[in-house]
Amino acid sequence: MPKYIVTFKDPDKSVYHGDGLCSPLNEKEMKQAEATLEKFFEYGEYVNIEIDTDEKTATVLPVNKE
C-alpha cells in the first residue's frame, strides 16, 4: 500500500502561547526549543505527517525550505 502525507494547520498556533512556548522555559531554552520546532512547523502552525500504510507508522516531516 502507498504512503500518504497529511497536513495539519493549527490556526491558534498552540505550539506557542503569547510571547513564547507553552512551557516555563528560560530565554535560552525557549530559543533552542523554537529553533527545533521551526524544523517541523512551517510558520509555527503547519505540520506534515507521512503515514506509511505498510509499516503502520507515522513520521513528522521536516519543513521543506527550498
Q: Which residue in 49, 57, 36 sits closest to 9, CA to CA?
A: 49
Q: Which residues contact 3 (CB under 8 A, 6 or more apart)?
A: 50, 51, 52, 53, 54
For residue 7, list its beta bridge partners.
Answer: 48
CA distances from 56 to 40, 63, 65 (A): 21, 22, 27
Cβ contact 63:42 at 8 Å = yes
In tens, the pLDDT along 7-66 reads: 999 777 666 655 555 667 788 888 888 889 899 999 888 999 999 999 999 999 999 866
Q: Using a cut of 0.85, tell me whether the model's pTM lies above it.
A: no
Domain ranges of the chain: 3-61
- pLDDT on residue 39: 94
